């Protein structure tokens, strides 16, 4: 329901997005589809329908916007993840990632794209993306340990590299990425 639609009886009307949230909601998909360098601040300002001063109040630089988008993308991804302490937590995580990779709108990994565009490890976008990937590797190890797998760190690293290949394949091939035997292939890493 949009903010200008009447609310159904007994429900609270939706609150309009804040200017900061509108900016991030516009910038994120643009960055994901077209790349960070291809998207200018003026386009984000126009599509988010905010004043330039409002933009700069929330994001002093484009780098600040990119880092905020990376943080928001990680937050959104985390909401859909299965618990780390559930049954077969590593297997369920891998299955969730493969299901995400198979979605038609998936264009690969946001964080790989960030690191590729900003190859200098000192760049804020690269550092933010590397931080996300470091946390992914840690959760894979936690999940491998919770699943009772031998050598959780080695398993986590193998699964991490496998999933990185999945994301790169999806970025390259789109919906035609060769993922038909992905579940079988990844399970060989930890069975």
Q: Are 132 and 143 in contact (CB under 8 A)?
A: no
**Residues contacting 134, CB < 8 A, separation 6+:** none
Residue corresponding to tokens 């200017």: 19
Q: How confident is the model at residue 17 (pLDDT cuts 50, 70, 90)?
A: confident
Q: How confident is the model at residue 183 (pLDDT cuts 50, 70, 90)?
A: very high
pLDDT score at 5: 31
What is the C-alpha to C-alpha distance for residues 93 and 165, in angstroms, rounded to an integer? 16
User: The whole model's pTM is what?
Assistant: 0.86
What number of other Cβ atoms are within 10 A of residue 165's Cβ? 13
- pLDDT greater than 60 at residue 64: yes
């Amino acid at each position: 329901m949009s903010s200008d639609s009447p609310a159904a009886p007994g429900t609270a009307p939706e609150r309009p997005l804040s200017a900061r949230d509108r900016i991030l909601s516009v910038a994120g998909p643009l960055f994901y589809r077209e790349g960070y360098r291809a998207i200018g601040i003026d386009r984000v300002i126009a599509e988010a329908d905010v004043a330039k001063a409002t933009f700069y109040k929330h994001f002093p630089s484009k780098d600040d916007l990119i880092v905020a988008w990376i943080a928001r993308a990680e937050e959104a991804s985390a909401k859909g993840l299965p618990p780390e302490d559930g049954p077969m937590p590593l297997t369920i995580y891998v299955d969730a990632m493969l299901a995400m990779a198979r979605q038609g709108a998936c264009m690969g990994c946001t964080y790989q794209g960030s690191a590729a565009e900003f190859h200098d490890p000192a760049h804020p976008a690269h550092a933010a993306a590397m931080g996300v990937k470091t946390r992914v590797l840690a959760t894979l190890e936690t999940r491998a340990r919770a699943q009772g797998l031998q050598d959780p760190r080695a398993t986590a690293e193998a699964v991490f590299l496998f999933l990185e290949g999945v994301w790169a394949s999806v970025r390259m091939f789109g919906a035609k990425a060769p993922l038909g035997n992905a579940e079988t292939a990844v399970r060989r890493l930890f069975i």
